[in-house]
Amino acid sequence: MNPRIKNVDNLSFEGKKALVRVDFNVPLDDRLNVTDDTRIQAALPTINKILNDGGAAILMSHLGRPKGGPEDKFSLKNIVLALEKALGRKVIFAPDCIGKEAEMLAEALKPGEVLLLENLRFHPEETKGDKDFAEKLSRLGDIYVNDAFGTAHRAHASTAVVAEFFADKVCGYLMLSELKNADKVLGNPERPYTAIMGGAKIADKILIIEQLLNKVDTLIIGGGMSYTFAKAQGGTIGDSLLEEDKLDFVLELMETAKAKGVKLVLPVDTVISKAFANDAEQGLANKGEIPDGWMGLDIGPKTRELFAAEIMNSKTVLWNGPMGVFEMSSFDKGTKAIAEAVVAATKAGAFSLIGGGDSAAAVNKFGYTADVSFVSTGGGALLEHMEGKVLPGVAALVP
């Protein structure tokens, strides 16, 4: 990290109001309760440092990907209870992240108090990196702290642009420890080096693969991402997740992998279901043979074995994205099997780095968090950092 970037230890927050970008993009269940608070817990050291110094913390985050206006299921109000429980103190909630009310609540904040702002992405200006919006956010605090490692790959108003408006801008403890751990692998990874990719954010992450091909020896693709590969190879994928406009790109990626001598390992079978529901009719299909009216929601048993063998062979493992819809018990076996293989490889001496909001939640759900080398709160951010990119959220902190 650029040595000119300061961190929370370089400042006293006494009598100050810190505007803190956190990543509270946590999973919620149907009743809008937080199902995994890893990202909240991870932000506590920074928040507590500010409060213990005699400062006040104004926390801002996104939650999910709202369409550009308020939506109840994406309200940060849903996480207030979990945050209060984790912090052990009351949290004041601002129903909008900018405007008169937010400014008044911030103004009235006393040392030791915490204000949580409503979802930043209820304003489309956030993801556009709008300068006026960033300026409005900046009015709320005296010091800017970025501790949102999971969102540091986004050049958004609250993650990057807002920093321009502060003389004091620092990174938090989470950001520091994430970068430090990732750098253990970045410089000189022990080989064989295997990356495992899955999940549902296909459009974003497919682009990252191209860069990863310059780094890894083996690339395993599972989860929602794998069906675009199966389709590109001429298979049928029913109603499975598909990134239609990336079909040609995927074929090019496969050629690039071959040219670079990277072993690309794709699923050979898949658990299929008639609907996106735990109790829907289920079956198994070979790769690229999913009938119409069915969708692939997990890797199949042969794939579990194939992937596990590759992982066991590795000295460095980087994993982002679940292998299936692990939130439902009918489709969690692939993710669990891969987690078990990563744990076994770690016990055999490999360094394992698992990242992503949902991936971290999955590893937590299966009880393996302590059995891997490091669980990162960032998925896309971790991958982009591992590509060797300077993350915009980090670059913005250079004085």
Ligand X SMILES: Nc1ncnc2c1ncn2[C@@H]1O[C@H](COP(=O)(O)OP(=O)(O)O)[C@@H](O)[C@H]1O
Selection from 289, 341, 286 nearest residue 310 by Cα: 341
User: Among residues 55 and 199, whose Cβ is nearest to ligand X?
Assistant: 199
The single residue among 189, 380, 392, 393 that binds ligand X15, judged by CB under 6 A, is 380
Contact (Cβ atoms closer than 8 angstroms) between residue 171 and residue 8: yes
x-or-dash pattern for ligand X15, window 140-179, by CB under 6 A? ----------xx--x-------------------------
Q: Can you say whether residue 238 is alpha, beta or left, with left for phi > 0 and alpha for psi between -120 and 50 degrees?
A: left
Residues with Cβ within 8 Å of residue 190, at least 6 apart in sequence: 315, 316, 350, 351
201 is catalytic: yes
Largest CA distance in the chain: 63
b/e burial code for range 130-143 (CB count within 10 A of at least 16 → b): beebbebbbebbbb
The site partner of 296 among ligand X, ligand X15, none (C-beta below 5 to 8 Å per kind) is: ligand X
Selection from 308, 281, 307 nearest residue 293 by Cα: 281
254 contacts ligand X (rule: CB under 6 A): no
238 is catalytic: no
- What whole-number distance in Å separates Cα of residue 27 and Cα of residue 34? 6
User: Among residues 200 and 395, whose Cβ is nearest to ligand X?
Assistant: 200
379 contacts ligand X15 (rule: CB under 6 A): yes
Closest approach, Cβ 270 to ligand X, in A, equals 8
User: Among residues 136 and 154, whose Cβ is nearest to ligand X15?
Assistant: 154
| 286 known member of a binding site | no
Stretch that binds ligand X, among 9-17, 49-57, 152-160, 316-324 (CB under 6 A): 316-324
User: Among residues 113 and 181, whose Cβ is nearest to ligand X15?
Assistant: 181
Residue whose structure tokens are 């440092």? 49
Selection from 198, 190, 237, 193 nearest residue 336 by Cα: 198
Interface with ligand X15 (CB under 6 A): 23, 25, 65, 150-151, 154, 201, 356-357, 378-380
Interface with ligand X (CB under 6 A): 198-201, 223-224, 241, 296-297, 320-322, 324-325, 327, 356-359, 379
* Residues forming the active site: 39, 201, 357, 380
